[in-house]
Amino acid sequence: MEGQNMMIRPYGDTMNDGAIQLSFTLPVPHSAKADEAARQYAKKLGFNEVEVVHSNPLSDKFTFFVIYGKTTQQLDYDKVEVEAIEKTMDYYEVNNYIEENIKRKIVVVGACTGTDAHTVGIDAIMNMKGFDQHYGLERYPMIEAINMGAQITNEELIERAVELNADAILVSQVVTQKEVHIQNMTDLIELMEAEGVRSKMLVVAGGPRISNKLALELGYDAGFGRGTFPENVASFVVEKMVEKKAVSS
Ligand code: B12
């Protein structure tokens, strides 16, 4: 603590020493010169007391480095604001909530869309066996969960959701190279709007680089990032359904 506000800086060996470990790859062969280039580059980034603690050739033209350095930058923690969905019910509470408030099974259709082949994220949310001891949506007695897998086109996902009269669509986007996720996520919403189905179901996105803020900006109802558990998204969906019903009735 400094003054009134809580100023923070990374912690390494001693409080507020600003010690950071970073890693990067340079497009040069592994050599003493490459190590020195990595050290100088980290200094250019503003780090002090820079040490190259590990370097390894990735190929004959690329080298990977692990660097230790110290920063003097600090942040006022009290001024940090976040748009994340933190409140959540557990597995049992979600099922009870659906029974009491929706009084029927809800239908959720999920997929990892576009050319993205990463199934593990959407499986963690939907698979019966779950993830990290948290049951996936397929396990919930009050949820009919359909996991379409990966490399599903937006058209296929919408078609399936409409066919099943889904309450919510879950979209996973893991690859973000060249902002491909933004394009793909935007296309989904535009297609749904063009087909007149956007207002009929909730649309939720997730992935390691998806934030709630980004998802809202792109026209989604919510976005979930790294470390999400199935009950986080289940809680959001069922509460939002009830909230929307209350507004429309
Ligand atoms: C396993 C893996 C693969 C496997 C995937 C196997 C499979 N069946 O899924 C294979 C080998 C096929 C693969 C391929 C590729 N991969 Co890959 N892969 C990974 C790796 C190592 C782990 C991903 C993973 O499974 N994480 C575990 C899950 C549980 O975490 P998660 O996806 O974040 O999901 C959680 C949350 O994000 C969230 N979530 C995710 N989706 C959703 C959806 C909803 C609705 C909600 C609510 C929440 C949610 O909840 C989940 C649980 O908490 C990562 C690196 C890493 N360590 O993350 C790279 C990584 C994702 N891959 C990467 C790349 C580049 C590729 C390739 C393009 C490589 C290539 N040049 O061929 C190809 C992609 C091909 C393609 N067409 O998509 C990059 C992506 C970079 C980027 N930002 O775009 C990463 C980050 C590696 C890297 N550092 O470069 N990959």
What is the reported pLDDT for 143? Answer: 98
Please give the pLDDT value at position 249. Answer: 58
Indicate the range of 22-31, 84-93, 192-201 predicted with least confidence.
84-93
pLDDT of residue 232: 96
The pLDDT tens digits of the residues spanning 26-60 come to 999 999 999 999 999 999 999 999 999 999 999 99
Position in ligand 1 atom list of the atom nearest CA 115: 77
Asked if residue 235 has its Cβ within 6 Å of ligand 1, the reply is: no
Per residue, what are the HEC states of the chain? CECCECEECCCCCCCCCCEEEEEEEECCCCCHHHHHHHHHHHHHCCCEEEEEEEEEECCCCCEEEEEEEECCCCEEHHHCCCCCCCCCCCHHHHHHHHHHHCCCCEEEEEEEECCCCCCHHHHHHHCCCCECCECCHHHCCCEEEEECCCCECHHHHHHHHHHCCCCEEEEECCCCHHHHHHHHHHHHHHHHHHCCCHHHCEEEEECCCCCHHHHHHCCCCEEECCCCCHHHHHHHHHHHHHHHHHHHC
Q: What pLDDT band is residue 248 in, cutting at 50, 70 and 90?
A: low
Domain span(s) for CATH 3.30.30.60 in the chain? 7-77
Model confidence over 133-189: pLDDT tens digits?
Answer: 999 999 999 999 999 999 999 999 999 999 999 999 999 999 999 999 999 999 999
Model confidence band, residue 87 (pLDDT cutoffs 50, 70, 90): confident
For CATH 3.40.50.280, the residue range(s) in the chain are: 91-248
Lowest mean pLDDT, pick from 1-10, 136-145, 227-236: 1-10
pLDDT band at 129 (very low <50, low <70, confident <90, very high): very high
> What band does 240 get if pLDDT is binned at 50, 70 and 90?
very high
pTM equals 0.84
Domain 7-77 sits in CATH 3.40.190.10: no
Q: Within a 13 Å sphere around the CA of 114, how many CA atoms are in the beta-carbon half?
A: 19
Does the beta carbon of 176 lie inside 6 Å of ligand 1?
Answer: yes
pLDDT of residue 1: 46
**How high is the pLDDT of residue 2?**
45
For residue 174, the CA-to-ligand 1 centroid distance in Å is: 5
Q: Give the atom of ligand 1 at the shortest distance from the alpha carbon of 118.
A: 9
Which range has the worst mean pLDDT, 5-9, 29-33, 192-196?
5-9
Does ligand 1 have an atom closer than 6 angstroms to the CB of 212? Answer: no
pLDDT tier, 228 (very low <50, low <70, confident <90, very high otherwise): very high
Q: Place domain 91-248 in its CATH homologous superfamily.
A: Cobalamin-binding domain (3.40.50.280)
Cβ–ligand 1 contact at 124 (below 6 Å): yes
Band (pLDDT 50/70/90 cuts) for residue 5 is: confident
In the chain, % of residues over pLDDT 90:
92
The answer on pLDDT for 132 being more than 70 is: yes
* Tens digits of residue pLDDT in 196-222: 999 999 999 999 999 999 999 999 999
Amino acid residing at 116: D
Percent of the chain with pLDDT over 70: 96
